[in-house]
Chains A and B, each alone.
Chain A
Amino acid sequence: KAGVTQTPRYLIKTRGQQVTLSCSPISGHRSVSWYQQTPGQGLQFLFEYFSETQRNKGNFPGRFSGRQFSNSRSEMNVSTLELGDSALYLCASSPPGQGAYEQYFGPGTRLTVT
């Protein structure tokens, strides 16, 4: 089975711009979660989508948004970029059903805001 894929892998943007990141989950996985990783902060939960609906949301400003398509692929969007948005953005997918399952992570998108 192919793993979680994320595109692009690297991105450089300027303050004030917006950016869209894409994530394709493992085939059959319907839950997609997004995390932001910054040095010293670990992984911070952004949001989770399941069957095209946002189920959970972390403590990030409204500039961070996402969506999920019928094929479970997901995108996240950051508008009006700030320098502090520079981070590694990770997407993870989970098998269907509730339970003691791990999340499978993609390689991440490294976003640099200048």
Chain B
Amino acid sequence: QKEVEQNSGPLSVPEGAIASLNCTYSDRGSQSFFWYRQYSGKSPELIMFIYSNGDKEDGRFTAQLNKASQYVSLLIRDSQPSDSATYLCAVNVNSGGGADGLTFGKGTHLIIQP
């Protein structure tokens, strides 16, 4: 059974600070890792994906992957009130050409305090 674990929060971070969101996964065969943001009442939207160990940066966002520890994180620099949302970690085991869906964590509720 594939499992993806996240702290549900809420995680409260002052505006302008770095928000750090963490995720662990159970399946060592996992190949692809995704972070989605979901505002209340809205659908998930992709922020970043990462496949290789290390860091991947995109603007204010940095995804970090450590396959040995089965750990993936998302850092948000210069946090803004508009970053307040639920952040979903998702994992795909399939390394081949097909897509068999994602396994999601339950999400971390992030609150950026002005």
Q: Do A and B come from one complex?
A: no
